Amino acid sequence: MLHLSSISDIRQQTELLRRQGKRIGFVPTMGALHEGHLTLVRAARHQNDITVCSVFVNPAQFNNPEDYRLYPRILEKDAQMLAQEGCDILFSPAAEEMYRQTPRLHFDFGELEQVMEGAHRPGHFNGVATVVSKLFHLVKPHQAFFGQKDLQQFAVIQQLVLDLSFDLELVCYPIIREEDGLAMSSRNRRLAPEQRAVAPRLYQALQLLREKLETLPVPAAKQEAEAFLQRFPQIKLEYLEVVHAQTLQPLQEVGQGAPVALCLAAFLGEVRLIDNLLL
């Protein structure tokens, strides 16, 4: 596996590969890789000639400096895992390399980012869109793979690709869960044992919400799921929403043929986790 960290090197490589007519599959990540990422890497390999994975903890998308500082960084282990999975190129630039100057461009995704993650993490999607645009320019992928856990991120990136005419296909893969139902996330590494023990309650709340929506109106079903989570004092719910799975706008009722997503974000101590369920 080729391990590159400079913009000029990755550009040179991907230009060469494109000239050779190779199809490039790309998995952008922030590292601390888990089975969810590896599923994306396998899919990228399966459907392309060359697999590129980036590991870059993007400072521009963190609204909380502590979260950025404490984000798990285990590049050597990530590189080993990627090499084992048959990844061809790992791109892991330093922050100074990716941001030689502070970007002036600002993205506005309108109502898509005025809810949930966008509403609670000011500037987050601007940072995501900035780095993803840069990475798409550098890697020049034919396909780019993302996880459904970041459902709103995927919707924002779909809009980005559409608005800026990036010539690539976006692929979204389902959430990979631990045996007890907890959605895999790099942040799970930061959970203390007692927080980890209670973390599967988040998925259980989503499952309960799904069940309650079969008989109750949206507000009453949400109340039941919120009451369930309140039984666990370690969990501080930030939001629990029933939304249209594409526009991400809150739904007052379900069952009218619209695709529905149940989404939540919660703090366990300082660790913020998100999860969702598509109906």
- Cβ atoms within 10 Å of 216's Cβ, excluding its own: 14
106 CB-side CA count, 13 A:
5
153 is in an annotated binding site: yes
- Closest approach, Cβ 183 to ligand PAF, in A, equals 13
- Closest approach, Cβ 150 to ligand PAF, in A, equals 5
Buried b (16+ CB within 10 A) or exposed e, 12-37: ebbeebeeeeeebbbbbbbbbbbebb
Tell me the CA end-to-end span of the chain in Å, nearest whole number: 39
CA 71 to chain centroid, in Å, comes to: 14
| Closer by beta carbon to ligand PAF, 120 or else 223 | 120
- Closest approach, Cβ 165 to ligand PAF, in A, equals 19
* Nearest to 241, CA basis, from 261, 227, 266, 255: 261
21 is in an annotated binding site: no
Gyration radius from the chain CA atoms: 19
187 is in an annotated binding site: yes
The catalytic position among 3, 37, 120, 142 is 37
| Closer by beta carbon to ligand PAF, 51 or else 58 | 58
| Residue owning tokens 């960290």 | 5
34 is in an annotated binding site: yes
| Closer by beta carbon to ligand PAF, 57 or else 221 | 57
Chain positions contacting ligand PAF, by CB under 6 A? 28-30, 58, 61, 128, 131-132, 150, 153
- Closest approach, Cβ 196 to ligand PAF, in A, equals 21
**Catalytic status, residue 124:** no
List, as residue ranges, the binding site for ATP: 30-37, 147-150, 176, 184-187
Catalytically annotated residues: 37
List, as residue ranges, the binding site for beta-alanine: 61
